[in-house]
A and B are shown apart, each in its own frame.
Chain A
Amino acid sequence: MRLKLEKRREPSLAMLVATPIASVILTMLIGIVVFDLLGIKGFKAVVDIFLSPLLASYKWQDVALKAAPLIIIALGLSMGNRAQVWNIGAEGQYVIGALCSAGMGMALGQSGGFLVVLLMIAAGVVGGGLWAAVPAWLRTKYNVNEILSSLMLTYVSFQVLGYLVGGPWKDPNGRNFPATAPLADAQTLPVWPESTVHLGVLVALILPFVFWVIMARSEFGYQVRVVGSSATAARHGGFDSKRTIWATMIIGGAMAGLAGGLEFLGVLHKIDLGFASGYGFTAIIVAFLGRLNPFGCLIAGIVLAVTYVGGQMAQSSVHIPNSTAGIFQAMMLFFILASDILVRYRIRVIPSAKAAGV
């Protein structure tokens, strides 16, 4: 008896939706078992990580704050991935975007207000887009694999960060600690009263709709999907794949830069050496978990944010180490990547020739 993979005529929609859900549930179940083996109360730990943040309303803010950058970045990445453009450098574009926001703020002096904040956000978008333009240029002009170039530039961006916050942009009142001066209140994002939820969360809620409209209804979205399916199809459709590469890379970078700027203006209010907290890489998981669909990214972003927040809660309640959140996220990604095949292929059981009496 053998298992045969039979290609489906169309990707199975049922599987597309079921597999991410199944992945999360499977991860939870395995988590319970592993924790119990390690001597930690497995059920409580998994509940704390996956459910408590949703059930405790005071935690929703934390989930929202963590989910917003993940969703925004993932939207940009998923558009690129649909076009077979693999931007792995979102973390670097996030950092550069934030730095550009900070730079714009410094250039505008101590002034604040709506226009200033808008300019700072715009600076972030432009900064991230430009940082992503480099791999785009290298790919279109020199055929350089954008996975590698964007990844390398991420590490270069960390050094740019280190140089700026440790040198020219260091807070003169910060006792030499490498960090920028904290933003004046007038330069921060407005927050929902009585909470820490900043404007960026609203942006993260609206953007999926924007991206859905673009991908599903616009000519550009169609172009992206055609270029992604095959180069020949693209040529026949009259689409310039190079243009698409430029566009999707820059949009991906712009989104990452936007997320960086919003995080700076809305949450951290300063940039220090720990600014790059991994959102750019986690967003790749979000994009996959969300099946590269804008609303999928929205939900997946929330799911991953829950594991982040839950992981922190579980540290103090059940004493699991903070490395666990990463393990869970990786497991969910493993499961969904593994189950990907069920979307495109059907499993058939073939009785062996012997059994059939041949």
Chain B
Amino acid sequence: MNLDLMRKLTDARGVSGQEEEAREVILAAIDGHVEDVRVDALGNVLARKPGARGADLPRVLVTAHMDEIGFMLRSIDNDGLLRVYPVGGVDARILPGLRVSVGPAGVPGVFVWKPIHLGREQRTVALDNLRIDIGASDRAGAAAHAKPGDMITFPGEFTTIGDGVVRGKALDNRAGCALLVELLQGDPLPCDLLVAFTTQEEIGLRGASVVVEALQPDLAIVLESTPAHDLPDLAADPDEGIAFNPSTRQGAGPVITVMDTRVIVDPRLLRWLRATADAEGIPHQIKSAHGGGNDAGAIHVAGSGVPTAAISMPARYVHGPAALLRVSDFEHSLALLRAALNSVSPALLAHD
């Protein structure tokens, strides 16, 4: 893992629809490694990396979404506090007291929160009732620094911690972007690689829904991060032994999707990824909790259809300000991706 790249990508601020900062980091990083780079009408970065063998092999699209969850400034109250809309799946339970960055200049702010001195109220405050305090005395004071429509993100504070773990905001899905960038920066592959860094995944797979029309791939692989909640029941007594938790686990390698709410992965691609991982001795796991969906859901039903698989990195605390990802899971995901692409053959798409 290129830590400098990962730092730049996760610290870049870019909620769905306002991905400019992340896009600039990506465009700079892939410059010179790809051809036909363009930014399409919805803001997706499209590119092509010609393969050594080219025409006799299927054209493979690899995608990762650039956007992150966050908020958008909705209105300013008389007292100078900001009201927000959620952008994507944010969790109101964790917000009170958290630091945020508001608008293009990253004005510092904090989600309002009633200190414990004033009562031991433990109920979650609904997102509609939460406000952001940027230190303004009144509406005019706040309006000098922030305006409706401004994006609001968690502040980027990328760091490495513990035993080969990186911590940052927006690992969902800048980690996928980093994986794709490192793939593009690496050795040539046999097949033509079509590339899309997509927009607006977190609000309904919108960017990805148009890339097939432009690139016309034969098959696709979506790179993602997926929640790992491989922790014991926190209320349980650890001396009783750790209760079984079937969730995706950190450190157990790339997560291969079988099915989620938006896609049933083509059995041919599933077999291919599992066999490749087995043959190469790459640790991997099958996604065991099938909630949610990702760009694969939009890509596989676009045009006349594209067999699509998803490789995800297990990460803890995604959609929060401090997600954790193991470097080993990143490296194993990259190894699986490269090995799979090196073994693409026309027979892969033969029907059973």
Bound pair: A and B? no
